[in-house]
Amino acid sequence: MAQHQVNYGQDAGLPVALTTIDKIVNWGRSNSLWVLTYGLACCGIEMMASGASRYDFDRFGTIFRASPRQAEVMVIAGTLTKKHAEFIRRLYDQMAEPKWVISMGSCANTGGMFNTYATVQGADRVVPVDIYLPGCAPRPETLQYAVMMLQKKIRREPANRNRNLKQKRFV
């Protein structure tokens, strides 16, 4: 005596979603990127602005964490000095897998204008970098774009890929 016939074939009619494990894992990962606060210089101000209400990083599921053990993305925002390189590597090693690195701004990418003895000429000499974000300093929109690109990258990867590959380079 069904008065209403439910058309399960129609859009959003069937209360079942079919997907792959990879997709659902990557969906979860890419939309809850918790970022390790790593403001080293003026880029850090832009990073803070991205997290504040006007740009609102929370929309992307990106929440700044103060502990590397709760974070999965490290945004290296600013000039990385040689004195500090040791600590950035230690914090990177403390982050739980899977983890990604965004190198924000010219200084972190290549050393930037600091072509000197005391600046690491590119953060990729110390930690493996996924996204290089140009600018001096990049605007919050640029950082948001970088996070979107990172999300896109994460969704494309297999969920169980061996992230350790990157680290084995130096071990």
Partner 1 sequence: MRPYRPKDNVQKKAYYNDRFYVTPQIPKDDPASDEVYSKDIEKLQSKFSISESYIQRGELVIYIDPDSNVEVLEFLKDELDYSFLMEMSAVDFLAQREGFEIFYELLSLSKRKRIRVKTFIKENQAIESVQHLFRSANFAEREMFDMFGIQVNNHPYLKRILMPDDWEGYPLRKTYPLQGDEFAQWYEVDKIFGKEARDIVGPEIRDSAHIDRYDTERFARLGHEVPRGTDISKDEPDTDNHEFQEEGGVFLIKDLNKPQKVLSEKERRER
Q: Contact positions toward partner 1, by CB under 8 A?
A: 17, 19, 23-24, 27, 31, 82-83, 85-86, 89, 106, 109-113, 115-118, 120-122, 124-126, 128-132, 145, 148-149, 152-153, 155-157, 165-166, 169-170
Nearer to partner 1, 27 or 55 (CB): 27
Rounded to a whole number of angstroms, the minimum distance from the CB of residue 51 to partner 1 is 19
C-beta of 114: minimal distance to partner 1 in Å? 10
> Least distance (Å) from partner 1 to the CB of residue 29?
12
* CA angle 69–19–97, rounded 5-degree value: 15
Give the β-pairing of 34-36 and 63-65: parallel
| Residue 43 · residue 138 · CB < 8 Å | yes
Nearer to partner 1, 70 or 141 (CB): 141
Torsion angle of the four alpha carbons 125, 62, 45, 129, in this order, in degrees rounded to the nearest 10: 10
- Min dist CB 137 to partner 1, Å, is 15
With CA atoms as reference, report the closest residue to 148 among 18, 16, 30.
30
